[in-house]
Structure 1
């Protein structure tokens, strides 16, 4: 429990300080235009502070990276599930064999 608290302080406090500094330094409004052929199109242009665009891009990157990792590790999770099921079946068979070989005290 103490290790989690120390890890949280060591990781999240500096990260929070960096994000706050980023937000203060980049609070001017910036236009994001989605239409590359007509950049003046107001329907596809969005205005927000630069730090929001940067934090949004960071969040999207983390989500895409997490999804890619999750999909890439799918075969390992499938193999682990198969091995777990096989181990459970072998345990049941061993218990059944053990019951058959025990002498009955009567």
Structure 2
């Protein structure tokens, strides 16, 4: 319930803001990639301004996610190593437990008969 409320409080205003930005920035702009000759049509893109805004936001999200992914790689590697080590020790414990059960079954003394 709290998660839905937080989503509504955050995402509804954000969606409204994005719609307002899209409507307010419909004019066509040209992004010139060639810094020396801005009139070069081969290295320029014309689109509504909100498209460039959305592409910049998406690029920022993707780059941020990639940086976070690579920064946390050492923790994922450590978790994998510790999980494999835990499984190794679990198998070792099971092996010793079965050996102890076999030994206990072999050394069981017969009950004294009266």
Give me the TM-score of the superposition, normalised by structure 2: 0.85
Q: For residue 29 of structure 2, what is the aligned residue in structure 1?
A: 30
**Alpha-carbon deviation of 1:38?**
0.7
Q: For residue 6 of structure 2, what is the aligned residue in structure 1?
A: 7
Q: In structure 2, list runs of 5 or more residues that go unmatched.
A: 109-114
**Alpha-carbon deviation of 1:8?**
2.4
SS at match of 1:59: helix
Q: For residue 42 of structure 1, what is the aligned residue in structure 2?
A: 41
Q: For residue 52 of structure 1, what is the aligned residue in structure 2?
A: 51
- How many residues are matched? 105
Report Cα offsets for 1:43-91 as digits up to 9, x if no partner: 1111111111011001001101110111111111001100000001111
**Alpha-carbon deviation of 1:42?**
0.7
2:38 counterpart of 1:77: no
Looking at structure 2, the residues matched to 39 and 6 of structure 1 have their Cα atoms a distance apart, in angstroms, of: 48
Which stretches of structure 1, 4 residues or more, deviate above 4 A after TM superposition? none
2:70 counterpart of 1:87: no
Looking at structure 1, the residues matched to 34 and 24 of structure 2 have their Cα atoms a distance apart, in angstroms, of: 28
SS at match of 1:43: coil
RMSD of the alignment, in Å? 1.6
Give me the TM-score of the superposition, normalised by structure 1: 0.91
Q: In structure 1, list runs of 5 or more residues that go unmatched.
A: none
